[in-house]
C-alpha cells in the first residue's frame, strides 16, 4: 500500500499537471484569438487592396481617356473680330479659305505653345455672332450683299469646310454671342482634353470678369488681338498674338463694325463721335520685306507698309502655266525667279480636296513633283483628281521658298512671289 507521503506526492503531481494543462489551454486560446485577429486584419487589408487596385485601374483608364483625342479651342466673338475684307467679299469661297487660313495660323501658334504635342491636337473653332445685324453692318461697307443674312453663305461654307469648325448665329439679342462664348469658355477651360484656349474677344471689356480668375495662366489661354483691343486685357499677364492673314487688324472706315450697336460709330481722336475728322496722310513707308505667309513678325509696330494687289493683277503680270514651265524657269530682268499664275480654285475643288484629305494627308512631293524619296512615307501617294492638285498647288504657293528668287529647282512647288490677297510680303516681279 502507498504511504501517506506517496499519496501526497501523487496529488501534488496531479495538481501540477492540471495547472500545466490549464496554462496550455489558455495559451492555445490566446493563440487562436491572435490568429483570428490576424485573419480579420488580413481580410480587411485584402479588401482595401482590391478596392485600391480597382480604383487605380479606373484612374488609369480615366488618364488614358483624358490623353485621347486632345484638342485646342478657338473662341471668336464674330461681332467684333472680323475676317479680312477679301475673305468676306468672296462669300462661300471666302468662308472655306478663311477656315484653311485660320487652321494653318493656329497650328503655327500651337507649335510655339505646345511643342511636339501640337501635332496630336485637333482644332475646334466656335465663332458666335448676330448674323442678321452683322450682315447689315458689313453691307454698308460693300463687303456683303444687301439682302437679309447676306453673311450666311460665308458662315455656312466656313462651318462645312472643317469638321470641328462652327460659325454659329447667336441671334439678335443684345448679349446672345457673349453668353454663348462665356458658357463655352467655362465648359472647356478646366477640361483635361482641352489643352489650350485661343480667345478672340478682346474688343469687349465685358469678358474681363471671365478671364481675370485665369490671370497669368499662359499655358492655358492665349488672347487673339484683332482690330480693337481693350487695354485692360494687357494687364492679365496672358500672351497676346495677332493673325493678320485671317482677321482685320484695322477698323473698317476708321470705325467699328459691330452688330450689337444700332449704327456704326466713327473714331475722332480715339473717341466715338458723329463724324470723322479728316487727318493728314502720313508719308509713305517702304514695302515690308518679310515673306512669311502674310505674317509680319513686327505686327502693327512694323516700320514698313504692305502693298495689296488683287487677283487680276497677277493674272496679267505673271506668266501662264504652259509646257515650257515644266522644263524652264521664268525670271525677270533682274534674274529673279517668278512663278506662273496660280488662280484660286473654285468652291467645288476645295470641297473635293477636303473630302479627300479627311482621312489621309496627301504627300506634297509625290503629288506635285511626281517623286518622293522618303522611305515608308506616311502620307497618301494614291492618285488624286486634278482639282485636288490645283488646291494643293494654291496652298503651297502661299508658303515661301527659303531660296526666294534665287531658287532654280524646276520642280519646286513653293512660292517665290506671293499671290495671296492682302499679303504684305516682298517679291513682286515687274
Grid cell of 93 as nine digits: 469661297
For the segment 68-97, what is each residue's pLDDT rounded down to a tens digit?
789 999 999 999 899 999 999 999 999 999
Query: 75 with 328: CB under 8 angstroms?
Result: no
**SS3 of residue 113 by DSSP:** helix
Among 154, 38, 128, 122, CA closest to 75 = 128
What single string gives the DSSP state of each residue in 227-272?
A: S---GGGGGG---EEE-TTTB-SS-GGGEE--TTSSS-EEEETTEE
Q: How distant, in Å, are the alpha carbons of 198, 330, 376 from that of 235? A: 17, 51, 49
Phi-psi category of residue 171: left, alpha or beta, with phi > 0 → left and psi -120 to 50 → alpha: left
All cell numbers assigned to 280: 493728314
Beta bridge partners of 166: 126
Q: Per-domain residue ranges for the chain?
A: 71-242, 311-406
Instruction: Look at residue 324 in the predicted model and tell me its pLDDT.
Output: 54
- Per residue in 207-216, pLDDT (tens digit) is 999 999 999 9
Cα angle value 83/89/91 (rounded, 5°)? 90
Q: What CA–CA distance (Å, rounded) separates 149 from 80?
A: 17
**What pLDDT sits at residue 265?**
31
Q: 131, 155 in Cβ contact below 8 A? A: yes
- Summarised one tens digit per residue, pLDDT across range 221-267 is 999 998 888 989 999 999 999 999 999 987 765 444 444 433 333 22
Q: What does the pLDDT look like over 83-136, one tens digit per residue?
A: 999 999 999 999 999 999 999 999 989 888 777 777 888 999 999 999 999 999
The three cell numbers of residue 182 are 462665356
Cα dihedral: 78, 421, 354, 161 (round 10) = 20
Question: Which class for 416: exposed (0-12), middle (13-18), buried (19 or more C-beta within 10 A)?
Answer: buried
Type and span of the H or E element at 92: helix 91-114
Amino acid at each position: 500500500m502507498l504511504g501517506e507521503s506517496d499519496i501526497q506526492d501523487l496529488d501534488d503531481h496531479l495538481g501540477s499537471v492540471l495547472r500545466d494543462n490549464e496554462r496550455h489551454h489558455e495559451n492555445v486560446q490566446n493563440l487562436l484569438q491572435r490568429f483570428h485577429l490576424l485573419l480579420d486584419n488580413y481580410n480587411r487589408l485584402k479588401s482595401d487592396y482590391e478596392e485600391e487596385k480597382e480604383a487605380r485601374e479606373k484612374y488609369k483608364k480615366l488618364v488614358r481617356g483624358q490623353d485621347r483625342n486632345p484638342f485646342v479651342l478657338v473662341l471668336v466673338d464674330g461681332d467684333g473680330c472680323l475676317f479680312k475684307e477679301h475673305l468676306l467679299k468672296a462669300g462661300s469661297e471666302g468662308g472655306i479659305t478663311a477656315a484653311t487660313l485660320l487652321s494653318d495660323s493656329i497650328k503655327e501658334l500651337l507649335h510655339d505653345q505646345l511643342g511636339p504635342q501640337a501635332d496630336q491636337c485637333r482644332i475646334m473653332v466656335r465663332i458666335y455672332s448676330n448674323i442678321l445685324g452683322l450682315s447689315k453692318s458689313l453691307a454698308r461697307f460693300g463687303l456683303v450683299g444687301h439682302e437679309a443674312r447676306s453673311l450666311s453663305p460665308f458662315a455656312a461654307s466656313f462651318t462645312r469646310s472643317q469638321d470641328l469648325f462652327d460659325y454659329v448665329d447667336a441671334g439678335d439679342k443684345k448679349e446672345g454671342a457673349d453668353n454663348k462664348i462665356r458658357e463655352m469658355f467655362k465648359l472647356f477651360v478646366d477640361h483635361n482634353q482641352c489643352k489650350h484656349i485661343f480667345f478672340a474677344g478682346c474688343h469687349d471689356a465685358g469678358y474681363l470678369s471671365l478671364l481675370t480668375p485665369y490671370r497669368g495662366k499662359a499655358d492655358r489661354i492665349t488672347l487673339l488681338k484683332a482690330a480693337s483691343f481693350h487695354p485692360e486685357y494687357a494687364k492679365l499677364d496672358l500672351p497676346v498674338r495677332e493673325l493678320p492673314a485671317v482677321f482685320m487688324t484695322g477698323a473698317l472706315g476708321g470705325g467699328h463694325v459691330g452688330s450689337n450697336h444700332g449704327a456704326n460709330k466713327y473714331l475722332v481722336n480715339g473717341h466715338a463721335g458723329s463724324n470723322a475728322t479728316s487727318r493728314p496722310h502720313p508719308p509713305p513707308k517702304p514695302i515690308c520685306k518679310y515673306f512669311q505667309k502674310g505674317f509680319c513678325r513686327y505686327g502693327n509696330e512694323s516700320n514698313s507698309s504692305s502693298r495689296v494687289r488683287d487677283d487680276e493683277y497677277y493674272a496679267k503680270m505673271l506668266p501662264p502655266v504652259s509646257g515650257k514651265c515644266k522644263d524652264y524657269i521664268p525670271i525677270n530682268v533682274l534674274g529673279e525667279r517668278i512663278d506662273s499664275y496660280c488662280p484660286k480654285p473654285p468652291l467645288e475643288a476645295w470641297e473635293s480636296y477636303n473630302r479627300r484629305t479627311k482621312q489621309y494627308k496627301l504627300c506634297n512631293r509625290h503629288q506635285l513633283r511626281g517623286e518622293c524619296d522618303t522611305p515608308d512615307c506616311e502620307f497618301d501617294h494614291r492618285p488624286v483628281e486634278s482639282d485636288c492638285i490645283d488646291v494643293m498647288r494654291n496652298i503651297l504657293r502661299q508658303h515661301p521658298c527659303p531660296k526666294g528668287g534665287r531658287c532654280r529647282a524646276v520642280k519646286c512647288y513653293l512660292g517665290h512671289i506671293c499671290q495671296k490677297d492682302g499679303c504684305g510680303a516682298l517679291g513682286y516681279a515687274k
